[in-house]
Amino acid sequence: MDQPLPPLFVSHGSPMTALDPGAAGAFWQRLGQAIDATFGHPRAVLALSAHSLTREPVLLAAARHPTVHDFGGFPDALYRLRYDAPGAPALAPRVQALLDGAGIRAHAVDDGGLDHGIWVPLRFVYPDADVPVLPLAWVPSDPPAAQFALGQALAPLAAEGVLVLGTGSITHNLRLVVSFTGRGPVDQPERAESAAFRDWFAQRSAARDWDALFDYRRQAPHAALMHPSDEHLLPWFGAAGAGGREHAPQRLHASVTYGALGMDVYAFGAQAPALARALQAPALA
């Protein structure tokens, strides 16, 4: 690779996005094309998902990952979808060494499987399932600053052809969603509280106001409403840490489904502006 890969945070949304991709799915397709055109095809993806949580960090270092349908009540067609990607067991010792150097102990196991927070977006970003994936299950009780520190330890991976991918949701309160299983108004107007939270997050990101972002639960408007628990937002901080404090996070995509489920995508680090420019190229528009 000629230049490091920018770490990413992708709001993965409802599992139904796999069948009805909408604006977010169309963006994910362009995202993979832009990454490849600008930086080259990633050697691997290190995935931090809101649906892979543990009491201590654990690397799922299987040689191959089956598709995990970790949800219920959806149409049968969704359960027939497969995204069985190769694993990246050879990358696990490198990640363990980086985390150990930061005082973070991580375990590696031979088990595997991609939860929907990983395979739903990757199905559009890299539809051939040809990029090895190493999920890193993380500790949801650690606050944003600690998640950022974990990401900082992973920063060298960007120059080694590894895409650090945090996946969750920029807003996530399913009690506000009328129906999440393909029978509800996916395109209903956005709630004002959701818009206010997403706008605040984008503004504080552009200003590199890390103190405010780390303290978002007190400072962001409607934070508790948008995130009754914050496991879907914490992967943002892990990916941000991999990009570093020096560079402003770039919001690459902004959309909403079901009126309150934000689908925003962010890039981090010195190469984030290059990716943003590539996404504006006519061939990708």
Question: For residue 29, what pLDDT is reported?
Answer: 96
Question: For residue 183, what pLDDT is reported?
Answer: 52
- Asked whether the beta carbons of 221 and 200 are under 8 A apart, the reply is yes
The whole-angstrom separation of Cα 176 and Cα 158 is 36
- Give the length of the chain: 285
The whole-angstrom separation of Cα 240 and Cα 130 is 25
Question: For residue 47, what pLDDT is reported?
Answer: 98
DSSP per-residue codes, 4-57:
PPPPEEEE---GGGGTS-HHHHHHHHHHHHHHHHHH---SEEEEEETT-B-SS-
The whole-angstrom separation of Cα 138 and Cα 106 is 9
The whole-angstrom separation of Cα 136 and Cα 141 is 15
Sign of CA dihedral 189, 27, 113, 157: negative
Percent composition of the chain: helix, strand, coil (DSSP 3-state, to 5)? 40, 15, 45
Token code pair at residue 22: 């909408």
Question: For residue 180, what pLDDT is reported?
Answer: 54
DSSP per-residue codes, 191-210:
PHHHHHHHHHHHHHHHTT-H
The predicted-structure confidence for 40-90, as pLDDT tens digits, reads as follows 999 999 999 999 999 999 999 999 999 999 998 889 999 999 999 999 999
Question: For residue 169, what pLDDT is reported?
Answer: 97
The alpha carbon torsion through 158, 67, 284, 164 (nearest 10 deg) reads -10
Question: For residue 176, what pLDDT is reported?
Answer: 84
The whole-angstrom separation of Cα 58 and Cα 47 is 12
Phi and psi based region of residue 62 (left: phi greater than 0; alpha: psi -120 to 50; beta: remaining) = beta
Question: For residue 174, what pLDDT is reported?
Answer: 87
SS3 89: helix
Q: What is the pLDDT along the chain (285 residues), one digit of tens a residue?
A: 668 999 999 999 899 999 989 999 999 999 999 999 999 999 999 999 999 999 999 999 999 999 999 998 889 999 999 999 999 999 999 999 999 999 999 999 999 999 999 999 999 999 999 999 999 999 999 999 999 999 999 999 999 999 999 999 999 998 887 555 555 678 889 999 999 999 999 999 999 999 999 999 999 999 999 999 999 999 999 999 999 999 999 999 999 999 999 999 999 999 999 999 999 987 665
**Structural domains of the chain sorted by starting position, each given as residue range(s) with its CATH number in brackets:** 8-279 (3.40.830.10)
- Asked whether the beta carbons of 256 and 6 are under 8 A apart, the reply is no
Output the pTM of the full model.
0.96
The whole-angstrom separation of Cα 109 and Cα 27 is 33
Instruction: Using the structure block, give the residue that is written with the tokens 């902004």.
Output: 254
Question: For residue 185, what pLDDT is reported?
Answer: 77
